[in-house]
A and B are shown apart, each in its own frame.
Chain A
Amino acid sequence: MARESFIQTVPLLTAGDLNRLDRLAFGGAQRVPNLMPGEHPSRRVGRGQVFADHRPYVPGDDLRTIDWKALGRTDRLFVKRQEQTSQQRVHLLLDASASMAYRGQDAALNPRWATGPSKHRYACSLAAAVAHVCARQRDPVGFSVLHNARVESWPTANEPGVHHARLQHAAALEPSGRAGLAKALHTIGLGTARHAVTLVISDLHEQMPDVLDALSALVGRGAQWMVAQVLHPDEVALPVVKGALRFVDSESGEAVVASPARIADDYRQRMAQRIERWRAALASLGIEHRLITTDRPVVDALGDWVFNRSLRT
């Protein structure tokens, strides 16, 4: 109860974050076939702000679409057409498995001194940021939370207040259980729209082949997928601690005693290789992968991501 009240009182994003997020745009790389107006370029040509082309007038066309200037120059009736922008459905999948509860070795060894957020809360903040950007773009956003090996989903909505309530609820959840991401992806993929963008926010401590198999099946259905791999810096490079630590797996409960100082280099290399394998594997499926560590502010991490995407496009 205390934790929930604390989370409810502490916003996932500050006012400053929201102001900075107003300058960002988020969306899929593909054109959106939707008919609902929005800010994303659509495959259709119709009403819009950006001129597309002219076509000869045919009876029945809306007279308001006739290009009167072209009539004066050519004495022919042309209809001016604009590129139509539409909404893009965005679905956010939050991994709330037990591994997402990690807050760092300080939190584990010295709970009183722990100040950083857990990966789960960071993921919720990231989702809130994305949702805020999407809401500003009038894109409907849906949520799914993978918690305790079960998927809890909310339908898409386009109201920031709804997003806020849902994310606060998600943040209040105590990460637990195994993720089972492959199964969750399959479940979610069946329920999402074909051209929706689904952002998976997870640490990807999963069996890679299973996840890739699930994603490959979903990608073939036309959906756009993105994966934000949220890791704590301790996961990227083991914490600097003298002596040995008993590491307990957050999901399996297995334990191992190891001296981080002795295996830090090896671990860092192996983790880098692991991340790179995820990136390469997802890229082969056309899925964008983004590594985000919790030591960076959410807005900065999202801004860098968006900026890099814009450079690529």
Chain B
Amino acid sequence: MWILTTPAMLFGLAMLALPIALHLRGRSVRGVLVFPTIELLHLCMDRHTTGRRVRKWLLLVVRCLALGLWVLTFARPVLREAASQSDLNNHTVWVLDLSGSTRAVVDGVVVHDRLSALLDRELAQSGETTGHRAVLAGVALREVTDGWVDARTLRVLVGDAQPVDAPVDLDAAMVMAERLLGPQSTGAAGRIVLVTDGQAHDFPKFFGPKTGVSVRVIGLNDDALIPDTALHNLQIWAGQATVELTHTGDQSRVVELACELEGKTLGTQKVTLAPGQSRGVSFALGSLIDAANEAVVSVRLVNNTDALATDDVCSAVIESAERPRVMIVTAGDAMMSDTPAGALGRALAPFGDARDPVEVRVARADAPESWPTCDVAIVTKTGGLSSSALSVMRERMAGGVGLIFIEDDKAAADDLQAITGLQSAPGGEAARWDESNASWSDAVLEAFTGLSRRTLLDAVTQPGWSPMRGQSVEAILAWPDGTPAVWRKIGRAGNAGASGVMGISFDPLFDAGAGAFADSPSFVGLMHAMVGSLVTRHRGRNVTVGQPMVFRIEGRSASGVATLHGPGVRLITTRGVTDASGLTVQSDATPISGVYTLRLEGRTSAVGCAQPDVGECDLTRVRDEAIRAVEGSGHHDAGTRDTGGASADTHTGDGAYHNVLEVWPWSAGLVGVILTAEVLLAGGGRRGGGA
């Protein structure tokens, strides 16, 4: 493909223009002179033109050489194999296909591993050159490097890339790669190496480069066919497994889908697909979903002959467990969204969709018949509960529903005194709302993380200490305002078989209004922990409720350094994802466990969404530390990748595709030089020889 905008091509055209210009200059006359007679001029020129014959043979040689170079221009793909090693010195953008098809297992080797091994081997062959960038073609295109890096760094940065459960737009990835090579005016002689298994519907699009950039494709599976049916976006929700089925073929077809749970077929469906049709297919899981608990649910196409890829023969894997269902029971006047109950619901489930850690429903206390099925019921203003509501609640308790009471009654001084006896327990004294800091003290959080649970339970179950004695009370915190009536209600609930009963008296919550929840992320975390504890009791398995703490740190040149500690810490930046194990958080007010995310967005000031004390950080330093941590942790397992590479060799033969239409633009310049010489050789005769 001729791309006239590439610098090399422009240079070549300029060189081609040089002999033409010289030729025209040689032929051009300085002026027209009306001469008395040209008889003698004719005689003189006849004598001089005889000299041209001497140069004819040399001109013939030069012209043959120019034609030979011109032929070599189009024969460049043949010569490219020999020159491939030198090409590695150029800038290279690597495009790694992370589509769902790469999750397929062929001959016992995951396709993605094979592709990664190929990429590693190519990068290893490139030595310590620094002209590398990478584009990960996942659900979204992502460049993992900030500028050109060396091959070693690139291997680290792309090491964590994992395939997604969806097709990807490789064509857009190629466009992005071309853009990363820089504007054509820079003259970068770059190339693009596409690492893909070829299982994409639009794969033929990028067979030809669009801007003259050298494109090399590795990892193609010669046995694979271009798919026309794909499964993606499997979701487990509401007792169903729903998968989107897309058919891009040009013929109608009937496909058979099978839903499996841990390898056991739950059911099959036959679906008729029209050309271009996309539809969702659901399989009922029922009560199996609870029993499954982190089991693998997959939906696949049965007897699909299209290809091996999971894009077509989809085996989407989802680790699923239904979220805890939380019902917030409140008085009628608390149903409005700006009430504390509404604010509490938004705090527990801020997104209102499947991303929330819990499913929240707000129910009217005076309409127990409409209460939904739930795992935990959070009851506010229990004094307003009617007898019928309490009856329904007791009925629900029989089903193992956990209860959380939030009360602000200040009437009972005895119970207040009894509860304040908690202060004598270890750690209990500090278990109070810190008015000055508007946050829960560390002791409260420690209590709910089990550090002093035993002591707490011993304290609250002492005889004469509380009407809750002997009940299945998990914890009672800061209960300065509880009333005997409330305790009786709680006691009855516990006796009714509730999985657990918790109570919170939170005056500032109600006094401060709805905004108190939003301003108290620690309180939200506390509520998540309470719900998780109750649901664990209810479902009989460990259920962790809570959003990962998201540190949204923005700013490139800040003074502070944010570090994280704890297992499984991952660093998520806009430039890529990498494992950041070993980093520590400097201002962690809470013990860190589980997955923490450091998300770097934008380049403005620092904002701590869940942890405001993290402060600003030096992104470059954080990233470098993360890279070093990854390298030190051995997460980038070259040995495993090498094994995949060997398998790739036997399976695909590492077939590298070379674009047969690629033109070597510099040869045009050489041809121009040759033609220039030709014109110079012929110029004397022409100028002397005249028209």
Contacts and interface: CB of A to CB of B under 8 A. Distances in A.
A234 B47 CA distance: 20
Contacts of B32: 108, 245-246, 248, 255
Nearest to B42: A256
A262 B41 contact: no
Given A256-B690, A266-B48, A244 B30 contact: yes
Nearest to B47: A266
A89 interface: no
Contacts of B687: 243-244, 259, 262
B29 A108 contact: no
Contact of B33 (A105, A252, A274): A105
Chain A, interface size: which category? 35 or more
Nearest to B25: A243
B21 to A, nearest CB: 15
A105 B35 CA distance: 8
B48 A248 contact: no
Contacts of A242: 30
Contact of B44 (A101, A263, A274): A263
A232 B34 CA distance: 13
B40 interface: yes
B55 to A, nearest CB: 15
Contacts of A271: 40
A249 B38 contact: yes
Contacts of B29: 243-246, 257
B31 interface: yes
A267 interface: yes
A242 B25 CA distance: 12
B38 A254 contact: yes
Interface string A230-266: 0010110001011111111111101111110011001
Given A256-B45, A271-B40, A245 B688 contact: no
Interface string B437-467: 0000000000000000000000000000000
A262 B48 contact: yes
A101 B627 CA distance: 90
A263 B48 contact: yes
B36 interface: yes
A246 B33 contact: yes
B86 to A, nearest CB: 45
Contact of A99 (B27, B36, B691): B36
Contacts, number: 107
Nearest to A254: B38
A102 interface: yes
Given A256-B690, A257-B690, A267 B33 contact: no
A254 B41 CA distance: 11
A262 B688 contact: yes
A258 B688 contact: yes
A101 B44 CA distance: 23
Q: Which of A100, A235, A258, A266 has the most CB of B within 10 A?
A: A258
A250 B688 contact: no
Contact of A267 (B28, B40, B688): B40
B650 interface: no
A205 interface: yes
A58 interface: no
B48 A274 contact: no
Interface in B40-60: 40-45, 47-48
Contacts of A255: 32, 38, 691
A109 interface: yes
Contact of B40 (A102, A244, A251, A274): A274
Contacts of B39: 205
B688 A108 contact: no
B623 to A, nearest CB: 65
Interface in B1-43: 27-43
B687 to A, nearest CB: 5
B36 A102 contact: yes
Given A247-B41, A270-B40, A271-B40, A108 B48 contact: no
A203 interface: yes
Contacts of B43: 270
Interface string A203-217: 101000000000000
A204 B557 CA distance: 94
B691 A257 contact: yes
A251 B37 contact: yes
Contacts of B44: 258, 263, 266-267, 270
Given A266-B44, A266-B47, A274-B40, A249 B35 contact: yes
Contacts of B27: 244
Nearest to A257: B690
A263 to B, nearest CB: 4
A241 B691 CA distance: 18
A241 B687 CA distance: 13
B31 A258 contact: no
B689 to A, nearest CB: 8
A241 B41 contact: no
Contacts of A257: 29, 690-691
A101 B37 CA distance: 11
Contacts of A270: 40, 43-44
Given A256-B45, A257-B691, A263-B688, A248 B37 contact: no
Q: Which of B31, B33, B47 has the most CB of A within 10 A?
A: B33
Given A109-B30, A257-B691, A247 B35 contact: yes
Contacts of A245: 29-33
B36 A258 contact: no
Contact of A108 (B28, B31, B42, B691): B31
Contacts of B31: 108-109, 241, 245-246
A172 to B, nearest CB: 20
A101 B36 CA distance: 8
Contact of B690 (A119, A239, A244, A251): A244
A72 B647 CA distance: 155
Interface string B447-490: 00000000000000000000000000000000000000000000
A243 B36 CA distance: 20
Interface in A67-122: 99-102, 105, 108-109, 119
Contacts of A239: 33
Contacts of B37: 99, 205, 249-251
A271 B35 CA distance: 14
Interface of A: 99-102, 105, 108-109, 119, 203, 205, 232, 234-235, 239, 241-252, 254-259, 262-263, 266-267, 270-271, 274
Given A250-B35, A256-B691, 6 more contacts: A100-B36, A109-B31, A256-B38, A258-B45, A266-B47, A267-B41
14 contacts: A203-B36, A235-B36, A239-B33, A241-B30, A244-B27, A244-B28, A245-B31, A248-B38, A249-B35, A251-B37, A255-B691, A256-B690, A266-B47, A267-B41
